[in-house]
Amino acid sequence: MLHGKRILLIVAGGIAAFKSAELIRLLRGRGASVRCVLTEAGAKFVTPLTLQALSEDRVYGDMFSLTDESEMGHIQLSRDADLLVVAPATADLLARMAGGLANDLAATVLLATDKPVLAAPAMNVRMWTHAATVANVETLKKRGITFVGPNDGAMACNEHGPGRMSEPAEIVAAIEAVLVRDRPLAGRRALVTSGPTREALDPVRFISNHSSGKQGHAIAAALAALGADVTLVSGPVAVPDPQGVKVMKIESADQMLAACLDAGALDIAVCAAAVADWKAARPAAGKIKKKAGAPPPALELAPNPDILATLSKAGPKRPALVVGFAAETENVVANAIEKRGRKGCDWIVANDVSPATGTFGGERNTVHLITAAGTEDWPPLGKGDVAMRLAGRIAGHLAEAVRKQAAE
């Protein structure tokens, strides 16, 4: 669940700091990397050496350390993580966070970050219920900071009540909840086709098209960014492989279909590839030679399999959502509506690829989203933004389907 996630753990000065050592161990066991910031007071309860040994990374503490700043500036430290976790979050550090102070490295990092923050408070019961702390927590919640705990129970100071820091396993669960909230497609499997296909005429010549793969690759990256486990089946393209995506490189439509059918169970399929409609009926085994005086060879073509239509076929293996593309040069929306019905997919993203639009190979795309509910005209967007918007819509649709199912 936390594989590849980077957690910045801020350990402030409370007796519960000893639990942070166990927290690091649990997080690393789940595949996360942990980097620690230890406050001056925190270092009275747990040593930098403990945190360093468990995190296998250096521990940051001094705001004015020339060596730290030259290796990793405090601003970068605050952003170079997927999540900041404050555990234990003391009354003092919560007050400084609420007040926007930057009087040590922990407070500065928390003020400078653009990442989500989770706080696990730990303090004496009277400190937790004090009007000042209550107001600070209220302020921080309004600003979007998530809290886990504190729990009720016996405290180190022999009092009883709320103030005990949550157990490390509870903090891990809260971390997963925060990270999954930003990853609504976690646990979903997606297939994306992208780029052109190449249909061999002979070993040196082929039929293909102008597809750059930019839109399909951006969709694969956007689905992965929302947490999906993405397989990208791509024809020959010049764009780089998106990060965090399994890429299967193919040439022909037949190979693309085989790779798609090989991808296993899917929740989502997005067919953005420009699959050649026809292939050579009988590709020559050797290079077709020019013969003096002979007419050009006649090309006999055969239809390619329709990958989108194949994936859209009803059955237990059909993905919950199948999205096709319709690249058109005229009657864009009408043609796309007809194509949605003919291919049996759920949604069609239709775009005008007339040469004047510069869509093929360009950075921007003006699309219409055609669903059972009707047609939405999207404004001109960068291909990355089209991809993010589409991925967001896909996540929303699947979440809605889960809600409906639960209500039934």
Site residues, ligand C5P (CB under 6 A): 193, 253, 271-273, 275, 304, 306-308, 324-326, 339
Instruction: Give all strands (DSSP E) within 73-225, no chain letters.
Output: 83-89, 117-121, 146-147, 151-154, 160-164, 189-194, 199-200, 206-207
In the structure encoding, which two tokens stand for residue 138, read together? 């209220």
Three-state DSSP class for 23?
A: helix
Angstrom distances, CA of residue 75 to CA of 71, 93, 252: 12, 18, 48
**DSSP codes, 144-161:** T-EE--PEEEE-TTS-EE
Shortest Å, Cβ 215 to ligand C5P? 11
Alpha-carbon gap, residue 40 to 106, rounded angstroms = 10
Q: Give binding residues for CTP as ranges.
A: 277, 287, 305-308, 325, 339, 343
Min CB(325)–ligand C5P separation in Å: 4
Q: How far is the CB of 186 from ligand C5P (least distance, A)?
A: 26
Residue ranges for the known binding site are 277, 287, 305-308, 325, 339, 343
Kindly state the tokens that stand for 239: 């764009």
Give the shortest CB-211-to-ligand C5P separation in angstroms.
9
DSSP state letter for 267 = S
Distance from C-alpha of 193 to C-alpha of 273, rounded to nearest angstrom: 5
**Would you say 196 and 236 are in contact if contact means Cβ atoms under 8 Å apart?**
yes
Cβ 259 to ligand C5P, closest distance in Å?
12
Q: How far is CA 20 from CA 48, 52, 96, 160, in A?
A: 12, 12, 21, 22
Is the Cβ–Cβ distance between 89 and 121 less than 8 Å?
yes
Dmax over Cα atoms in the chain, in whole Å? 104
Rank residues 20 and 211 by Cβ distance to ligand C5P and give the closer one: 211
Report how far residue 184's alpha carbon sits from residue 181's, in angstroms, rounded to the nearest whole number: 6
For the chain, what percentages of helix, strand and coil (3-state, to nearest 5) are there? 35, 25, 40
249 forms beta bridges with: 234
- 185: closest CA among 225, 220, 218? 225
Angle at 246 (CA atoms; ends 240, 250), nearest 5 degrees: 70
CA–CA dist 408, 405 (Å, integer):
5
Find the shortest distance in angstroms from Cβ 353 to ligand C5P.
10
CB of 274 to ligand C5P, least distance (A): 7
Say how far residue 384 (Cα) sits from the centre of its chain: 13
Cβ distance to ligand C5P smaller for residue 47 or 354: 354
Q: Work out the angle at residue 396's Cα, subtended by the Cα atoms of residues 395 and 402, and round it to the nearest 5 degrees.
A: 90
Decide: 189 and 267 in contact? Cβ < 8 Å.
yes
The set of catalytic residues is 157
